[in-house]
């Protein structure tokens, strides 16, 4: 989509935000009241989630509905008048949050900026050069701690952070044992077999037919390639919103 047409869409939403909010609030859109709203709620409910990030939340009906069901919900929208309206209607400040961010802001990492996050990479000495290559391309500063800690020191570190993002590794189990929330990415292995165990963790797994295969080598690595950055980013954002509203 070109900037020209994108600007027109944003402008139209600014003009029509009030009318849309009234239509949704007064149940004036028949398809929404008869099927769409229920289908969305039922789909989310079937996933048995504790937190939801609604990007493009509009007037916030979904976030408020989920909060009323005990789900931690955060809404993000590029139309500031929507967010102002949403915040004026918030009743449950523990489970409901709204942020004004454009899609460009999200892409540039400003959603993470909201948390003032310090990012640390862990590993052994053999991982140092690879991690340096990654951090050199990052917009935000990150620390490369590969090879710096023994096992006890690593446990203390993982018990001190707000969140760990990992694959199926030994440090994943250390973090869960230290009661640190974990977003764990699974490819050839299975979260129901190897954890992370305990509450507050989010395993992410693709749905390719060959996974889990438990193989150590693979020619395609399709199970990992199918897991998108957006998928992981959404899970991480939901976790951080919950700990740092």
Contact between 77 and 97 (Cβ < 8 Å)? no
Per residue in 64-115, pLDDT (tens digit) is 999 888 887 888 888 888 888 888 887 766 567 788 877 667 656 666 666 6
pLDDT band at 139 (very low <50, low <70, confident <90, very high): confident
Contact between 36 and 47 (Cβ < 8 Å)? no
Contact between 170 and 189 (Cβ < 8 Å)? no
pLDDT for the residue 2: 47
Is the bond leading into 132 cis (omega within 30 degrees of zero)? no
Domains of the chain: 3-108 (3.40.50.150), 149-243 (3.40.50.2000)
Based on its alpha-carbon atoms, the radius of gyration of the chain, rounded to whole angstroms, reads 21
> What does the alpha-carbon distance between residue 56 and residue 100 come to, in Å, rounded to a whole number?
10
* Mean of per-residue pLDDT scores for the chain: 85
96: tokens are 């409901």
> What does the alpha-carbon distance between residue 14 and residue 7 come to, in Å, rounded to a whole number?
11
Judged against a pLDDT cut of 60, whether residue 240 lies above it is answered with yes
Per residue in 50-60, pLDDT (tens digit) is 778 888 888 89
Instruction: With 0.85 as the threshold, say if the pTM is over it.
Output: no
pLDDT for the residue 1: 45
Judged against a pLDDT cut of 70, whether residue 168 lies above it is answered with yes
CA distances, 239 to each of 42, 75, 163 (Å): 22, 14, 8
Per residue in 172-219, pLDDT (tens digit) is 999 999 999 999 999 999 999 998 998 889 999 988 899 999 998 888
Of 3, 236, 201, the C-alpha closest to 106 is 236
Percentage of residues in the chain having pLDDT higher than 70: 88
């Amino acid at each position: 989509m070109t900037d020209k047409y994108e600007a027109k869409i944003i402008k139209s939403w600014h003009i029509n935000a009030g009318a849309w909010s009234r239509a949704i609030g007064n149940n004036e859109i028949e398809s929404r009241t008869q099927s769409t709203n229920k289908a969305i709620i039922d789909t989310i409910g079937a996933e048995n989630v504790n937190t939801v990030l609604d990007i493009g939340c509009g007037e916030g009906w979904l976030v408020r509905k989920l909060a009323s069901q005990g789900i931690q919900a955060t809404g993000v929208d590029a139309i500031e008048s929507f967010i102002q309206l949403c915040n004026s209607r918030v009743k449950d400040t523990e489970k409901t949050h709204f942020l004004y961010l454009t899609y460009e802001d999200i892409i540039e990492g400003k959603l993470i900026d909201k948390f003032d996050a310090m990012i640390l990479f862990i590993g052994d000495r053999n991982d140092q050069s690879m991690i340096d290559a990654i951090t050199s391309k990052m917009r935000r500063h990150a620390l490369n701690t590969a090879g710096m800690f023994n096992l006890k020191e690593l446990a203390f570190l993982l018990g001190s952070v707000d969140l760990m993002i990992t694959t199926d590794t030994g440090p994943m189990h250390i973090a869960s044992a230290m009661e640190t929330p974990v977003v764990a990415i699974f490819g050839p292995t299975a979260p129901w077999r190897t954890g992370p165990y305990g509450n507050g963790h989010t395993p992410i797994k693709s749905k390719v037919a060959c996974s889990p295969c438990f193989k150590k080598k693979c020619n395609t690595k399709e199970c990992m390639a199918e897991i998108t950055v957006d998928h992981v980013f959404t899970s991480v954002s939901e976790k951080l919103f919950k700990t740092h509203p």
